[in-house]
Structures are given as structure tokens and as C-alpha cells.
Structure 1
Amino acid sequence: MSLLKKLFGKTPPAESSSAAEAAPVPATALASAPAAVTEQNPAENPNLIRAYDAYGREIYVTREQWRDNVLLGAIEQNWNDAEQLAGLIIQSLNDNFFEEMIRPAERLVELDANSERAVVLQAIVYMKVGRLDDSEKVLLAYCAQHGDTGIVLTNLAKVHAERDDESKTLETLWRALQLDPNQDNGLGWYQAIHQDHGGDVAGVTAMRKVAALPHSWRAQLWLARGELGSHNYAGAIALYRESLARAGKPVPADLLMQMSGDLGNAGQIQEILQLAGPHFDVQAHGMRVGNNLIKALMYLGQLDDAQRLLNQLYAQNRPDWKENLAYWDGELAQARIGDGVVDQPEALRFSMLLGRGPVWLAPVSPAAVLYPAIPPGRPLITFLGGSADVGSTADHAQRQLADPAGRLSRALPLYLNEQVALRCGLRTQTLVPWLAEPDPGFVLSSSAWPDADAVHHARQCEQPSAYVVVSHLVTKADPWTATVRVLRMEDGSCIGEQSASFSMADPAQAVSSLADSVLQWISRDAGATVQAPPAAYRVPEGASFPRYLLRLEQLLAVRCNSADANRPGALNGEREIIDGNLRQCLEMPDSVNARLLLAQTVRAMKKIRPDVVAEFDAHLARLQSEHPLTEPAQGIVQELLDQA
């Protein structure tokens, strides 16, 4: 059962009195601000605030930056908008901005004097800054004018608690629960008071007392948790059904979240789908409930249903959900592969796919005019990779998700390809080992291509090659090693070979060294000249370089998996692919090749996942508008994006 408990961990409820899950305030004013520097995980640093820029990128800024550059401006902008102002106050209270919320809370009451929400927020702000008399005054004034309400009395009880008046606290809290027995904080507080005084029995008795009140549904949730703990599953299900019947429509998100989480921890997975599934609404319940439903669907093997739910959540365009959704993307992809065993290895059929030119710059692309033309009579260089010794002892074919070794085995020949094409002015093409049957996908060989095989495959191409460049990785231990060999097609001889070692996280120097060697060998043997890269070709350096290699491989993956519309491959992580390209363009806004890499990826993705491409429309338009390239590159990239 420990695995189930790990999967269905309970998320503590937020302190907000609202059951709605509010979207985060975008930090548009900080779109170009540097992230705060810290050695620890920024999410665990109380002095940093998580925000999202206009492109959905997560950033962490100091409290001072947030207050001065975002919060104060947002308050001023929404000074006359009660709804927006209330949201800002709630978020700011959660971020422990109390003094700063005094004026906004008072303004909210001016805008909406009869609103319970406005008065409660004003009272909370006063309470947080120690103005207990003012807090009590505004709460009592509201009750005198509009009558008692559960939330107002609960906050009045908090004022009494701050004054250590226990009897008045408990009396006021009970009155609050009689009016609204489903206040999360109020109910938990009431149960805790009794449990502290009389132990677990007193706590359960208090909860049953609340459950007996008309319209109560939250107390039933807590009582059901106790029944699950006692393995009285029938009793728990009865309480859940009663809770659902009383809660109304739409069912509160925290009801479904707690119920599904507790059922999961108790191993009652099927009941999650039976009880929570029919009530789920993606806009009302979002990630908090969707998370547990995806877990349940995956546990029961209902992968297609889990994918449909995941797509619904992605479509909400919530940057704060991105990491969680990406996790389930990977888990679903792995679940489809299962143990990786190939049932009928004799049915495997392999082939070679061919890509001409750099992966982002096909010879027939409209973007070809941005780079020096390569005459048709120039020597043709073929690149072949797709092999890595990962140290596996398996002696048979296995299905697996793409891993760093496999990705780099395909990215390295793509990078060497564009270097030779753009710096030597030679024609280039890349051969990609591909599984045609039974399921399309890349092939990763554990052994380096023998020279004779590499030459043979290059000779099968329509146009004759002058050289074939073979690359191979050894990734059994850190550091990794990459080896390149350049073979002359005329006689199969090796005109150059080099190996370079590097850490998986920092391949830049090693890969650049290998590329320089390949350029020198081919230029010397073919009588070509190595030139400086064109102005429209910029490759990132340092920590960004491996991400550039990844984007090359991902464009290849999207193209290969979309080549046959009738049998598309099993692509996963589609949103990360586009988002990663978008981020790369923001890191290098003047790089033409980075922008073309993004545009070609989006065009290829349109063939298999137009719904995913549509989710990025606004971000792509913003990139083109805020970071335009010089013409004619800007217009050509826009033309490619318009086609998508």
C-alpha cells in the first residue's frame, strides 16, 4: 500500500476561503528582469516569489522586486475593478504582504460596500497587522447591517482567539458552523479544538455534530477518512455519496480532491472513477482533481482516457500546471511502452530515412535565400549516427523512450551536417535509422556502424556521396565519449578519426572540437575552404548548447513521426518541444537559425498535433512582434509560421 500512498498524497488545502483555484498573476512587468540568484531550490526560499512572464516561463524574484515592479502597478491598474482587486489581495495575503494590502482592502470596501468578501478581506488585513479592534468593528458592522454569516463569524472567532478568549472563540465558531458547516478552515479548527481537549474521540464527536447540521457535506469527508482508516469501505462510500448529494452542482473542487486522494491512499482506485469521475469539470476543478483522476486511470490501465483528460488540462494554458502535466506526459508514454519486450522480433523491419541539408534548412525551403547558395555540383556529404554503447547487457531488441544517449546519437550528425553545409559550402544529407514495422520509431544500435555498412547505406541513396561521416557514442559511464570517422566513398578509406570525452551536461567543447576536425579533414581532402559561419547562423554556447542539440533532434523526431499520416509514430512531450524552442528563441532573439528551427518544428507538429500548435498561437505572435528579426528573415519566418 505504500506505493498507493505515495501516488495519492494529500495536498494541504489553501488558506483562502474560496474553493476556486485562481490563476497566477502574470509578471509582465518582469518579463526582462533577471531571476534572483540563489544556491538553494528557489521554490523553497521564502524570500522569493514564483511568477510567470508573458511567455509562461516560470521565474523567481525577490519580494522587493515583486512588490515594487509588479504588485503596486497591478493594484493601481485595477484600483476601480473590485473583482481584480480582490484577487490581488487574496494572492498578496498568501504571499505575506500585509501592510501593503491595507489601502487596497479599504478601497475594495468602497467599491463593494455590501460585499461579504470585501469586508472579510478588510478584517483579515487588519488582523494580520495587529489592528484587532478595527477587524472586530468591521465584522460586527457587517452583521448588524446584513445579518450573521458563517464566514464573517469565523473570522470574528479568529479575532477572539487572538485575544486568547477561548470560550468566546468556541461559541462564535459554533454559531458560524451552524450557518455554514462547510467552511474548510472553520471546520478543521473546530475539530482541532475538541481533539486538543478530549483526544481523538472528542474530535470525531465534534465532526459528527457538524455532520448532523443541515446542508453539511465537508464533515462527511473527514468522517469517511476515518472509516477508510478502519477498513470500513462500505461506510466510507456511503458517507461520500451523502457528501456529494448535499454539495450541489458543480461539486466543490476540494470535495473531489480530498475524496479521490483518500480513496487512492486506501487502495480503492475504481471507486475514484465511479464517485469523482462523473462530477469532474476541467474549468471548475482543474489540476487539483484532474491529477488524482489521471493517477487512477493510469493505475487501472485506461491510458487513452488518461490522455484525453491530460489534453483537457493542457488546453487551459496554465503555466503553473506545466511541470505537473509534463510529468504525466512522460508517465503515459512510459506506460504505453510497458516492459519494452518485443513480442515478435522476427517481424521487425528497418529502413533508412533521408533528410537533405541542415534539418531546419532544406534546400527547397524559402529560408534558403538567407544563406549562401550551395551549387548543385558541389560534393555531397552523408552523415550517419544513431548508435550508442550504453552498457546494456540485453542481447535483443527493446522498446524504450528516447533517452539522452539516443537523442545525442541523432543530434550529433545533425549538428555536424549544418556545420559542413554552412562553413564549407558543401551539399549534405543525413541518414536516420528507422523502425518501419511493427511500430514506427527511431533505432538505436549499441554498436558503431562498420565502415562497410556505412558506405553501403550511403551508396543506396539516390545521389552519390563523396564522403560519409559516421558518429558513435559510448555512454556507459561519465564522462561520455563521442567518436567520428570520415570515410571516402571512392575507396572506403578513413581519412580522419577522432574521439572526445565530455560530461553529459556539458558537451559543447567536445562537439565543437569534433566538428572542427571533420571540417578540416573534408576540406583538405575535397579541396574546399572552411569559412566563418554566416551572419544568419548563431549557435548558443555553454549551458545552452546541449539544449540546441536537443531541439535539432526534436525537429527530426517530429518530422519522422509525422512523415506517414496513416501511421504516425509515438511522439510524446509535444508541448515541451514547442515551448523549449520558444525559450531558445527568447534566449537568442537575434538568431535566425534558432527562429527557423522553431518555425519548422511548429510546421511539422501541425501535421500530427494541430491542437497543441494552437495553444502556442499567442506566444508565437508575441515573439514575432516583440523580437522581430531583420528583413528578409522576419518575413520568411512569419510565412512559415503562418503556414502552421
Structure 2
Amino acid sequence: MFKRILSALSGKKSPSSQVASVTPAPEANNEPITVYDAYGREINITRSEWRDKVFLPNLQLKWNEAGEIYNLIISGLNDGFAVDLLPATERLLEIDDIPERSYTIRGIVLMKNGLLNEAEDVLRTGITKAGETATLLTNLAKVFAERGNQTRADEILWQALKTDPNLENGLLWWASVQRERGGEAGYLQALHSVAALPGSWRAKLWLARHHLEREETQAARALYVQVLTDGLYDGSSLMMISGDLGNNGQIPLILELIGPIYDEHKHDPMAGLNLLKACLELGKVDEGDALLSRMYALGLVPFKQYLDQFAQAFQEMREQAAQSMPVDPDNLKVTTLALSQPIWHYGLRNADWLFAQKPENAPKVGFFALSKIMDGSERVESQREDDLGRLSRAIPLYLAEAVHYWSDYATSCYIMIVEGGGPVVSGGENDGNALFDFVPPEMKYFVTGEIGSSGEGDAIQWQISLSLWDCSTRAKQASESGKATQAELGAMVLKLEKRLLTRIGLKREQALDTFYQHPNAEVMLVYLTELGQAFMLTLLANKHVPKSGLWGERAMLEWPLNMALHWPTVEIPKLMYFSGLGKALDYKSDVLPEYKERSMQLLREAERSNSHATRLAPLVWKIFGMSDELQAHMDAQSTDATPEYQAWLQRVSEQ
């Protein structure tokens, strides 16, 4: 995957004779076009649909904004809509205060439509208004070339290069023409002649590529150092340099030459991806993660999929480097956390007005984290979270949630952690007899259990056993167990849930919150993964573990968002997502700003569907520092707002 990405990032393989800064797309109306939505998801629509439903309406919408019209014209040329752009270029001539830009693009569109005489007139008029700029001259030369008058085209093109030797289209056209006439020697002579012009630097990049392809690394490096030291390069140059170095096996030089000067706000993001590839190749995980955070913050939707791939690769490198370390149990500070709400209720600033509350005197059921079925060879050690460890917590968290929503019991979930270290997975099932005095006196039942696995991948076999303990008789009342493959695990959890609810009674026919929907077997593993990740974010938010020990943060924050996008009619993933962001605010996440636009889009969609998630907008405003919106909402509250809601708004504003 990353080799394919790197090859896609390299500069052009050879100079092109194309003068305009756009490349026309094929004209087939049914050809798919890839676009991206606000969440970074790819959407494929046909060219005709894009033209009629998106592009042309958007062009009309921006009819009075010169910069927007220009950008859309460029986009339309790239998509092969030149015939539709004549009115827009005429409009641009009327309103644009940058004559070079408007007359150039008008001339290009006229040429694309075969109107060469009109194009020449427009370009010459542009020259009278803006002067003999390299861009106008280069496109004027193209008019003569299209007519077959190459001699006159050469004269005007060389005049353009003397005006600006670094105009990429002019340079590449000149070099291509000389190669056609004089072969490789003619091509090199063309580059050297342009490189000798005052202020020239771009030709040196092409000469450096020539040296790299012949393994003349020092000669190429000297040219790069000269260009970069003078600081005369443009935003796209670093992409070409890093791509050429990567394609020719000079990965360390990418970090040496490009790393110190790359500015994601000024330079081509492709250069940033090449830097990330270099960090990955050289094992520079910390440098790669730091650059990732900077690039994620730009919110460049088309690049997000590549950033996600690099983030996963860096995380895998960290995991491979991490070693399981034996620990001394006597030196650990172990704490048992008692969670009295579904794990995704946390982080929402005690939104008790949003969720139905159980009466204080409701009977209680407790759930303890599952223990690991031991084979006798394990030892106590510190290690990264794995599937078994995550499920040992996620399954009781889910069962507690199910009892909370589908029975009249109140619930608590008990999970042991090492302060500063993380969750504990104990070996061998907890002895319920030792827990009767641990649970509060109002507890009616509690549940313990074990989990184990054998095999790997799709062939893995899971084994789960649960024990229901009756606090009034201080005895085990029942046991339930099951075995399942990975594909069958979700169904097994649902069977255990159903048996458990039957055993304890007080079952509800309707969920405590009417918007709560029961996850089915198909989605259960996805749901359990989210519960496990939500627990880890809760530990961070409450300072039980350090932020430095967090891996895969973006994956954790995005998991419920992806659930919400996949199941847009289901409420709970949206609430889970905002809950995670609330926790990220608590532990002062560095990546939080990356999620602003996606969160705003989710809120907008939630409002259109009358989702309960819309009611959490004040928290989202607080998370992203939108103080004006939050204050305006608080000021607009009527006197009939509930005290619980008013108190919640105050908590949100103060935290």
C-alpha cells in the first residue's frame, strides 16, 4: 500500500508539452468522478450527474466571487467541461481585479474550444492590461503552436522564460520541444540554458532528477541544497524533490533536506506524505506521529485516507516494538472502578436531563470484569491491550448496559485497574464468596465470569462462562456458558444476555430510553469494540492512566463516528461519538481540533433528522471553543427550561 502511495507522489516522469495548467478529462458522460463528503468518504457519481447537479449550480452560486469562479473554472477544465465554461470566463473578465488571471483563463478556455483567433485577441488584450507576464506569453505561444507556427511559438515562449524562468508549464514545454529536436542532449541543453537565466531555480530540480536517475547522488544533492538554501522554490517543489529522492532510493535525504523546512500550511501536502513515508521506512515513529498531527489539523479531506493508513502503520510499529514486561504484583496500586452508568454516558457532563433515571431505591445488579481462563503458564505482566483483554471488560460493560435499559434494576460495573498503568486482566474466575462483603448492601445480584480463546484469526474459538450470585442467600444461583467462533461471538453474547435477563427478572418490554436500540448479532463485535475503547478514554479523562500511554487515539475517537455514518438512523453511536470528544476535552487531546468540521456536519445532519444528538450541541460548541454560540444559546434559554438542563449548561460552560 505505501509503495503505491509513494509512487503516486513522485513528480512528473518527463516534461509534458501541455502549456495550460490543467489536463482535460475524457468526455464520456457516464465516466465516474470521485468526490469526498465532509467526513472524508469517497463518493462516486457520473460526470453528467456531477456537471448538472453539483458543478454548474455551484458555479452560479459563486457568480459574484472572482476567486471562487476562477477555482471552479480550473476544476471544470480538469473535469472536461470546457464547453460549459465560456460564460464563466466572460463573467470573470467583468469582475476580476487580477487581469493576468482572468485573461489567461479566458484564453485557455477559448483554446480548449478551438477558438484560436478569439484566444489570441483575449491574451493580447491581457498583455496590454497586465504587461508581458510569463503566463500570458506562454499561452499566447500555445496559440501559435496550435496553428502550426512553431517558429513564432518558440520566440514567444523563450520571451516568457526570460520573463519568468520558473514558470513550470513554460519550462516543461521548452524542454520537451528541445528533446524532440535534439534528443537527450537537446533536452539537457534546454535545461542548462534556462538554469543560466537570472533567478532561475526550477530547471535545477529537473537537472537534479537527471543526476539521480544516473545514481549521481552528490551532484543532485548539491543542486537541491543550492535551491533550498536560496529559498526561491514554490509550494509544489518539495513534492517533486521528495518524490524524486524516494523513487531513487535516497530516503534519508528526504528527512535531511525536506524535513527541516516543510511547512504544511505553505507546501504541497504530497510532500508531507512523502515525508511520512520516509519516517515509516526509517522507523522514525515519533517524527512521523508529530507530522501526522500537523497534517490532520489541516482538514484536507481527500488526503485523510492516506493519513489514516500512516497512522495505523506507525501504531503497528509501536506495538511491535513494545515488549511484555513482567511486573511485581506487590508493587502495584490496584483500584477497582465502579461505573454506575453505561460507559458512553460518561463524558457528557452528567446529562441526566437527556437520559431516564432509575429511582434511588431500585434494586441493583453488579457486573465484574471477566477473568482470563488460565492454562497454568501465564505470569503477571504489563502488555498492550489485546482482543481478549478488551472483551473481558466490554462484555460486562455491555451486559450492565443491557440490564440498565431492559430491566428495572440499577447496575454497576466493576473493573480493576493499576493506577497509572491500565486495566487488570486477572487469571481464574473471581470467587463470588469473597465479593459479598465488597458489593454495597442494596445489591441483589452480581455476575462474575471467565473468557478464553484458542486459535487465531477467523479460526479463533471463544469460550465464555458467567456465574450469577444471589446476595440475599450469599450463594451462586446459576451458571451460563457458551463457545463460539469469531463470527458467532456476537450471537453468543446476545444469548447470554437473554438468559441472564430471564434469571434476574424485572424485565422491561420497552427500553428505559425510547431512543435506545438493541444491537443485533451482526453489529455486536463493532459495538463491543466501542465499549472497550470508551472505557480506555474514560480512564484517560479521569487521570487513571497518563496521556503518554495512549495509542491509536484517532481510531478510538473515530470508531463511533464511523458507526454513526454506517447506521445513520441509530441514535447511540452519535451519543458515543460526542461522549468520546467530551472525554478528549478532559484529557486535553492534541488531536481534538481535527474533528471540528466533521462534528459540525454530524450536528447539522442530526438536526435535519430530529436526532436526540442535536441536544448535545452546547457541549460540542464547548469542545471546539465556540464560546459565542454557547453563550447565545444560554442567553436564549426561556424560564421554563428544566433545572436539570440549566444546571447541565452551567457545567458545560464552566468545564
Question: Which range, TM-score by smaller chain?
Answer: 0.7 to 0.9
1:276 aligns with 2:258: yes
Shift of 1:212: 1.4
Matched residue, 1:253: 235
- Counterpart in the other structure of 2:343: 359
- 3-state SS of 2:367 partner: strand
Whole-angstrom distance in 1 between the partners of 2:485 and 2:324: 33
1:336–1:245: structure 2 CA closer, same or farther, 3 Å change rule? same
Question: 1:551 aligned to 2:530?
Answer: yes
Structure 1 residues 561 and 461 mapped into 2: Cα distance closer, same or farther (>3 Å)? farther
- For residues 55-66 of structure 1, the aligned pairs below 5 Å read 57-66=41-50
Q: Is the 8 A contact 2:21 2:169 kept in 1?
A: no
Give the C-alpha shift of residue 538 in structure 1: 1.9
> 2:77 maps to what in 1?
93
**Map of 2:276 onto structure 1:** 294
* Superposed displacement of residue 65, structure 1: 2.9
TM superposition shift of 1:72: 1.9
Check conservation: 2:571, 2:613, Cα contact below 8 A.
yes
Conserved? CA contact 1:441–1:570, under 8 Å: no
2:390–2:532 Cα contact (<8 Å) kept? yes
Cα distance change, pair 405–83 in 1 and its aligned pair in 2 (3 A): farther
Aligned counterpart, 1:24 = none
Does 1:467 find its partner at 2:447? Answer: yes
> Deviations 1:354-390 (Å, cap 9, x if unpaired)?
333321236994337623516555242315348699x
In the alignment, what sits opposite 1:49?
33
Match of 2:507 in 1: 529
In 2, are the aligned partners of 1:122 and 1:135 still within 8 Å (CA)? yes
Asked whether the 8 Å contact 2:362–2:409 carries over to 1, the reply is: no
Seen in structure 2, the aligned counterparts of structure 1 residues 477 and 290 have a Cα distance that, compared at 3 Å, is closer
Whether 1:476 and 2:460 are equivalent positions in the alignment is: no
Residue 11 of structure 1: aligned partner: 10
Cα RMSD for the two superposed structures: 4.2
Asked if residue 77 in structure 1 is aligned to residue 76 in structure 2, the reply is no
The question of 1:421 aligning with 2:404 is answered yes
SS in 2 for 1:533: coil
2-side partners of 1:641 and 1:50: how far apart? Answer: 32
What secondary structure is seen at the aligned counterpart in 2 of 1:370?
coil
Query: Paired residue for 2:215, among 219, 231, 240?
Result: 231
Q: Structure 2 CA distance, aligned partners of 1:119 and 1:461?
A: 81
Secondary structure (helix, strand or coil) at the match of 2:481 reads strand
**Paired residue secondary structure (1:49):** strand
Q: Call closer, same or farther: CA 1:457–1:473 in 2, change over 3 Å.
A: farther
1:194-209 to 2 correspondence within 5 Å? 194-209=178-193
Q: CA deviation at 1:220?
A: 0.4
Q: CA deviation at 1:91?
A: 1.5
Cα drift, residue 242 of structure 1: 2.5
The answer to whether structure 1 residue 497 and structure 2 residue 477 are counterparts is: no
Mapped partners of 2:437, 2:168: distance in 1: 70
| Corresponding position of 2:496 | 518
Question: In 1, Cα distance between the equivalents of 2:535 and 2:618?
Answer: 21
Distance 1:293 1:630, change over 3 A: closer
Structure 1 stretches lacking a partner, 5+ long: 20-44
Q: Does 2:183 align with 1:184?
A: no
Does the 8 Å contact 2:11/2:244 carry over to 1?
Answer: no
Contact map agreement 2:138 2:157 (CA 8 A) in 1: yes
CA gap of 1:542–1:162, structure 2 versus 1, over 3 A, is farther
Deviations 1:456-497 (CA, angstroms, capped at 9, x unpaired): 896695446532244445562425544432213354575222
Q: Percent identity?
A: 28
Q: How far, CA to CA, are the matches of 2:335 and 2:464 in structure 1?
A: 20
Conserved 8 A contact 2:166-2:202? yes
The residue type equivalent to 1:601 in the other structure is G
Task: Give the TM-score normalised by structure 1.
Answer: 0.79
Q: Is the 8 A contact 1:388 1:444 kept in 2?
A: no
Shift of 1:299: 5.0
Q: Cα–Cα, structure 1 residues 246 and 168, in superposed 2: closer, same or farther, change >3 Å?
A: farther
Secondary structure of 2:456 counterpart: coil
8 Å CA contact 1:182, 1:217 repeated in 2: yes
Provide closer, same or farther for how the CA distance between residues 72 and 409 of structure 1 changes in structure 2, counting only shifts above 3 A.
farther
2:543 matches 1:561: no
TM-score by length of 2: 0.78
On the 8 A contact 1:290/1:313 being kept in 2, the answer is: yes
Contact 1:119 1:139 (C-alpha < 8 Å) held by counterparts: yes
Q: Given the alignment of the two structures, is residue 321 of structure 1 paired with residue 306 of structure 2, yes or no?
A: no
Match of 1:488, SS state, is: strand
Give the AA of the match of 1:95. D
Give the 3 Å change call, closer, same or farther, for CA 436–404 of structure 1 in structure 2. Answer: same
CA distance 1:639–1:178, change in 2 (3 Å): closer
CA contact (8 A) 1:413 1:471 kept: no
Aligned match of 2:365: 380
Deviations 1:397-449 (A, max 9, x none): 6855x666765565444333322221123343445565667xx355679xxx6
User: What secondary structure does 1:487 align onto?
Assistant: strand
Contact 1:351 1:434 in 2 (8 A): yes
CA–CA distance in 1 between the matches of 2:74 and 2:44?
19
Match for 1:511: what amino acid? G
Corresponding letter in the other structure for 1:319: V
CA separation of 1:12 and 1:127: change in aligned 2, threshold 3 A? farther
Question: What displacement does 1:169 show?
Answer: 4.3
Equivalent residues of 2:373, 2:450 under 8 A apart: no
CA distance in 2, matches of 1:456, 1:567: 34
2:583 is aligned to 604
* Residues in 2 aligned to 1:364 and 1:259: alpha-carbon distance in whole angstroms: 49
Quote how far apart the aligned CAs of 1:537 are: 0.5
SS of alignment partner, residue 616 of structure 1: helix
Q: Report the more deviating stretch, 301-310 or 114-123.
A: 301-310
Distance in 1 (CA, whole Å) between partners of 2:381 and 2:349 is 37
Deviations, residues 68-97 of structure 1 (Å, cap 9, x unaligned)? 232222211211211111011112212222
Deviations 1:131-187 (A, max 9, x none): 233323322343355543322233234334444554444444333323222222332
Quote how far apart the aligned CAs of 1:586 are: 5.3
Q: CA 1:459–1:230 in structure 2 vs 1: closer, same or farther (change >3 Å)?
A: farther
In the superposition, relative to structure 1, how do residues 636 and 275 fare at CA in structure 2: closer, same or farther (>3 Å)?
Answer: closer
Q: 1:409 to 1:85 in 2, by over 3 A?
A: farther
